A and B are shown apart, each in its own frame.
Chain A
Amino acid sequence: MQQTACHECGVLVALPDHLSSSQYHCPRCNALLHRRGQPFSRIIVMAVTTLLLFVPLTFLPILSLDVMGMHSSATLFEALWRLVRDGYPAIAMLSILTALVLPVTLMLLLLLILIPLHLGYRPKYVARYYRAYEHAMEWGMVEVYLISIAVAIIKLSDMAALHVGPGLIIFIFFAMTFYITTMWFNPDDIWDRDALCE
């Protein structure tokens, strides 16, 4: 038996040592209190895939447009960089941070946490990195960005002739592998292995 409390309603709960299912919910408010286990090697592979997909995103164009014989194409970074140059650095930074920088940081943090644990080490920094991961998760918005690209395409399609670039296909996969990685990751499992800070 392990004593804990619900993080959403505060009630004291005793977690049974052997859960009947892999998840345990709060008896009062039904918040998810505990999950058991996680597929280490699959998460690591997915996180590496996400990082590899990020590389072509930096140079492949997501869209190209033609207006009356003029041509314009841009990668995600170019599109956002133009925004910085035109005097909207705050909005550009917010987009770059939540859609690209934070997701990549999250994947790196996950690898730094999971690889040593998987190999049987218990480095002290894991706890600190995990808290950074928690904060970054609140602000990572890849899935929102993906839908916003779709909306932008529809809005632009009645202004100009539009061609989808390979960067967009890569970004769709990037968003999908990112999402799967964070779904599979289970922080409870880190603490179940305890003795991290000893």
Chain B
Amino acid sequence: MPYVNDIEANRVLCTHCQKLHDVSAVRCDRCGGHLHQRRPYALLLSWGFVLSGLVFLVPANLLPMMVVKSIAGDDAGTIMDGVIHFLHTGAYGIAFVIFAASVFVPFFKVSVMLYLLLIIHFRWRARIMGGLKLYRLIHFIGKWSMLDIFVVALMVGLVQFRELATIVTGPAAMAFALAVVMTMVATEVFDPRLLFDMQQRSRT
């Protein structure tokens, strides 16, 4: 393997300003950032946040996201109810956006994070590069799962016609918000360099 990494060379990279230091340095002398060769407790924290995210995703998808209260009665809907409603009315574009952002992205993020952790755990060397590409992808699309939370927040705020019609958030909204935050934190505490560390010749 022709590539030498920071650990083998006894160096540590400042992840804020990209300055390379001797491994003994504690803080960056250029930007003052704290120096760690790998993000501290990356694996432990990632496992924790991914699994919590997965747990919150269950009620988020099964319970109603919002309840429309009107003179015609209460109408509670889960995320999938919303998607199906738009499919019936022929609004396929919007149905696709909601499904992608609220159902596909959160589950995809959790699966990718679990896959990355398993790559490291079982040392699947052949899957490193593919894993990194998936990591970049979920880092990029992760924010979009917040979409439905914003939609609910907006609708609750906008539709306030006292007894005629009001919208209140359902129990799924909180669970969903927590699931999104947990998966975002899980990708932030993870360190992709851990994938490549098992490719290096000497390990520390």
Residues of A within 8 A of B (CB): 3-12, 28-29, 33-34, 63, 65, 67-68, 70, 72, 74, 78-83, 86, 88, 90-92, 94-95, 98-99, 127-128, 130-131, 134, 138-139, 141, 143-145, 147-149, 151-152, 154-156, 158-160, 187-188, 190-191, 194, 196-197
Of the residues A91, A144, A159, contact of B174 by C-beta under 8 Å: A91
Contact with A along B73-103 (1 / 0, CB 8 A): 0000000001000000101001001100000
If A154-B94, A196-B31 touch, whether A88 touches B156 (CB-CB below 8 Å) is yes
Contact with A along B56-69 (1 / 0, CB 8 A): 00000000000010
Contact with A along B38-69 (1 / 0, CB 8 A): 00000000000000000000000000000010
Q: In the complex, which residues 158-191 of chain B have their Cβ closer than 8 Å to any Cβ of chain A?
A: 158-161, 164-165, 168-169, 173-174, 177, 181, 184, 188
30 residue pairs bridging A and B, Cβ less than 8 Å apart: A3-B11, A3-B20, A9-B132, A33-B18, A63-B158, A70-B161, A70-B164, A72-B159, A72-B161, A80-B157, A83-B156, A86-B156, A88-B169, A88-B173, A91-B152, A127-B30, A138-B184, A138-B188, A139-B184, A144-B144, A145-B150, A148-B148, A148-B150, A149-B154, A151-B147, A155-B151, A156-B155, A188-B18, A194-B30, A196-B31
Contact with A along B91-131 (1 / 0, CB 8 A): 10010011000000000000000000000000000000100
Contacts of B33 in A (CB 8 A): 127, 131
Contacts of B164 in A (CB 8 A): 67-68, 70
Contacts of A152 in B (CB 8 A): 150-151, 154-155, 158
Cβ of B161 to closest chain A Cβ, rounded Å: 5
If A10-B196, A90-B177, A127-B17 touch, whether A148 touches B161 (CB-CB below 8 Å) is no
Cβ of B192 to closest chain A Cβ, rounded Å: 5
Of the residues A10, A34, A196, contact of B6 by C-beta under 8 Å: A10
B154 near A159: Cβ-Cβ < 8 Å: no
Cβ of B46 to closest chain A Cβ, rounded Å: 15
How many chain B residues sit at the interface, stated as a range, is 35 or more
Q: In the complex, which residues 135-154 of chain B have their Cβ closer than 8 Å to any Cβ of chain A?
A: 143-144, 146-154
Q: In the complex, which residues 1-52 of chain B have their Cβ closer than 8 Å to any Cβ of chain A?
A: 3-7, 9, 11, 13, 15-20, 29-33
Contacts of A72 in B (CB 8 A): 158-161
Of the residues B5, B129, B153, B193, contact of A83 by C-beta under 8 Å: B153
Of the residues B30, B158, B197, contact of A196 by C-beta under 8 Å: B30
Cβ of B185 to closest chain A Cβ, rounded Å: 10
Of the residues A74, A131, A139, A197, contact of B157 by C-beta under 8 Å: A74
A79 near B157: Cβ-Cβ < 8 Å: yes
Cβ of B90 to closest chain A Cβ, rounded Å: 12
A134–B33 Cα gap in the complex (Å)? 12
If A5-B13, A83-B156, A86-B156 touch, whether A127 touches B94 (CB-CB below 8 Å) is no
- Beyond A5-B18, A70-B164, A131-B32, 7 extra complex contacts between A and B, CB < 8 Å: A4-B19, A82-B160, A99-B150, A148-B146, A155-B82, A155-B155, A196-B31
